[in-house]
Amino acid sequence: MSSTNGTATRNVRVEVEEVGDGRVGIAVLTIDDPAKLNAMGRSFWVEMREALATLEADGRTRAVIITGAGEKAFSAGGDIASFAELTDVAAKREFQQDCMRTFAAVEETPLPVIAAVNGYAMGGGCELALACDVVVAADNATFGMPESAVGLVPGFGVLRAPLVIGRHWTKLMMFSGERVDAETALRIGLAQKVVPAAALMDTAREIAARIAGMAPLALATGKNLVNRGVDRGEFDHSTAALTTLHATADAAEGIAAFVGKRAPKFEGR
């Protein structure tokens, strides 16, 4: 397997690698901001959609791996400090819609998508893993949806996690910020494989290479049929709810507390 090309943007790095006889390839999309634990900056959402659209159209890519740069994190989630820049309701709504469009792009791409989770997958990072088709976790991976600590909820996670891990695990993670280690993730269905951290990318590439050898139209059809029960109408409801939450005093306090590295004082308003 060899790298044939690579491109870099501000938040997502794209590398396409040949497999087999070189007629087809797999792509590795790396969330590339290790200094911030691969937090999803404002450009991430568009970059991920554009990368997937390019790979879908190239006629060669047969599978996609999404991972995080460095060894500490898949992604620590959305860049919370940037939430303070969302100064009016319209901006908050557009941000939520942008996130939902990206999660939908991952779910709906005809290309099979593997999440190779290295380290922390928190908030939006956990939600991104939920949007992928297969999750391979390093044995040091940790999953969490801690948005309630800043006065929010995981807009996509509350829709998809119940289908993957059940309603009660979703509520525990959402209500209390419960963190889930790799073995627990495997047990509850959040991950399909757990491997030593040093073997993570080799394992993900081996699965992707096997997928690349299958009939792409059959896989795209199968993915579509498996996902046909997914209700896109939920996105509008979640976007509206999250926009309302973003406009609350509690959310403003949670974000300010996060930036100020102090405990928030929520008042329920």
Q: Which residue among 127, 178, 183, 206 is the active-site one?
A: 127
H runs (alpha helix) in 40-166: 44-57, 80-83, 89-108, 124-131, 157-165
Residues pairing with 16 in the sheet: 5, 27
Instruction: Identify whether the C-beta of residue 55 lies closer than 8 Å to the C-beta of residue 106.
Output: no
Q: Which residue among 147, 183, 234, 253 is the active-site one?
A: 147
Active site residue 147: yes
37 DSSP assignment = T
Beta-carbon contacts of 7 under 8 Å, excluding residues fewer than 6 positions away, are 13, 14, 15
Beta-carbon contacts of 220 under 8 Å, excluding residues fewer than 6 positions away, are 110, 111
Strands (E), 163-222: 180-181, 193-195
| 15: Cα within 13 Å, side-chain hemisphere | 16
Beta-carbon contacts of 203 under 8 Å, excluding residues fewer than 6 positions away, are 116, 136, 193, 195
Active site residue 127: yes
Q: Please identify every residue annotated as catalytic.
A: 127, 147
